[in-house]
């Protein structure tokens, strides 16, 4: 009895295994997938051709009659001589194949990524599988750039009238038209004058250039710096495809440095007698200055006795001043100080200015500061009067004593 049960159990297990293998074999068949492998050129131009390669992979058993069909949809269509349906008679297990389509891109295709569509099936299946992929479309024909621009004056000062002239060139292969050139101005600082901030050019042929100019004015409160102005270009090609590009131009706001050096005070009172001279340097301009260094150059009229004939000031803001001093020994009554100031502006442009300062050697007597003996004389007279009075009183007492 026990043997019969074992035999029956083994038979049942065998049947289950055979059944499972049969089911697995039945389920295992062609396992097909398809993907867009690549396309060329990338990107493709409107009105041009594009070749699309579709990769077909079989991870199952050998497939019979694989079919793929191009699905025509704007902006893609079949090139002349191409067939919508392409087939593979057999695709062995674990193999792959590549199918190529040559397509035409519509002339008015937009500048963006567009989907190309296929569908495929294999064997006796009635089910079609959709295959889609993006194709990048870019018009290389319309390329409009600002090749050159200039400003008059080149270095602008606050309050100046400015002329900006732009030269636009069509580097593409097709004509561009209805070109709007717009300067995005911060009108609190730089504003258009006499016209608006947008100019229109009717058209520019391939390889040709056109100029456009703007009249502007800089506010008197404008800071000394470089202003980066956005420039907007809106235009169309001959297919009425619209383009919008942005670039920038620079306006350099500057101001000529305006320095003044004066003799602030002096302790020099006589020729050949050393004394201190205090000088004052004043920034009268609207631009801050950097790295100021002063030098007092010895001449035949005076000698610099300070340990150094240089004094470093550093930065000097607009409408500010600094003082510095030197010890000198004049060799004449009237001398002229030779002061050299080296510095940089905010754009690190180097400057060197020389100042010829008159210095008159004035004595204390000329200044009304000569020593006065009046007080001493008065004190001496008072002392003498007290002595005389004391002597007189003493003598008088002696006379009275003798009587």
What does the pLDDT read at residue 109? 83
Q: Is the pTM of this model over 0.75?
A: no
State pLDDT tens for residues 16-73.
Answer: 444 544 444 444 566 888 999 999 998 898 888 999 999 998 887 777 788 999 999 9
282 pLDDT more than 90: yes
What does the pLDDT read at residue 110? 81
The domains located in the chain, with CATH, are 30-136 (2.60.40.10), 144-253 (2.60.40.10), 259-360 (2.60.40.10)
Q: Which of 79-88, 229-238, 360-369 has the lowest mean pLDDT?
A: 360-369
Strand bridging mode 242-253 / 259-266: unpaired
Which 8-state DSSP code applies to residue 127?
P
Helix (H, G, I), strand (E, B) or coil at 6: helix
What does the pLDDT read at residue 237? 87
Beta-carbon contacts of residue 89 (< 8 Å; ≥ 6 apart) = 64, 65
Contact 359, 263 (CB under 8 A): yes
How crowded is residue 136: how many other Cβ atoms within 10 Å of its Cβ?
Answer: 14
Contact 195, 184 (CB under 8 A): no
What does the pLDDT read at residue 18? 43
What does the pLDDT read at residue 174? 80
154 pLDDT more than 60: yes
């Amino acid at each position: 009895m026990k043997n019969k049960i074992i035999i029956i159990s083994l038979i049942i297990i065998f049947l289950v295994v055979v059944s499972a293998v049969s089911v697995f074999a039945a389920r295992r068949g062609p396992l097909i997938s398809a993907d867009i492998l690549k396309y060329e050129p990338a990107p493709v131009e409107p009105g041009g051709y594009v070749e699309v390669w579709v990769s077909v992979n079989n991870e199952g058993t050998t497939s019979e009659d694989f079919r793929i069909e191009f699905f025509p949809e704007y902006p893609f269509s079949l090139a002349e001589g191409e067939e919508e349906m392409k087939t593979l008679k057999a695709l062995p297990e674990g193999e792959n194949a590549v199918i190529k389509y040559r397509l035409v891109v519509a002339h008015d295709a937009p500048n963006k990524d567009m989907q190309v569509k296929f569908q495929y099936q294999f064997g006796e299946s009635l089910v079609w599988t959709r295959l889609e992929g993006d194709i990048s479309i870019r018009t290389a024909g319309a390329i409009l750039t600002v090749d050159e621009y200039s400003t008059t004056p080149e270095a602008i000062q606050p309050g100046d009238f400015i002329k900006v002239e732009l030269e636009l060139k069509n580097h593409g292969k097709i004509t561009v038209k209805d070109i709007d050139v717009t300067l995005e101005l911060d009108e609190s600082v730089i504003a258009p004058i006499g016209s608006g901030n947008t100019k229109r050019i009717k058209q520019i042929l391939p390889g040709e250039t056109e100029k456009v100019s703007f009249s502007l004015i800089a506010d008197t409160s404008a800071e000394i710096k470089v202003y980066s102005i956005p420039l907007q270009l809106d235009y169309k090609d001959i297919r009425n495809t619209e383009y919008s590009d942005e670039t920038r131009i620079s306006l350099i706001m500057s101001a000529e440095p305006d320095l003044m050096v004066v003799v602030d005070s002096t302790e020099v009172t006589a020729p050949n007698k050393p004394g201190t001279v205090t000088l004052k340097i004043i920034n009268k301009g609207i631009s801050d200055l950097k790295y100021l260094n002063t030098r007092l150059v010895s001449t035949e009229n005076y000698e610099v006795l300070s340990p150094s004939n240089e004094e470093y000031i550093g930065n000097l803001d607009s409408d500010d001043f600094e003082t510095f001093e030197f010890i000198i020994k004049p060799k004449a009554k009237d001398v002229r100080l030779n002061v050299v100031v080296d510095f940089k502006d905010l754009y690190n442009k180097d400057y060197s200015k020389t100042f010829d300062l008159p210095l008159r050697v004035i004595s204390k007597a000329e200044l009304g500061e000569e020593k006065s003996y009046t007080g001493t004389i008065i004190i001496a007279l008072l002392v003498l009067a007290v002595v005389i009075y004391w002597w007189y009183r003493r003598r008088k007492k002696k006379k009275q004593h003798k009587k």
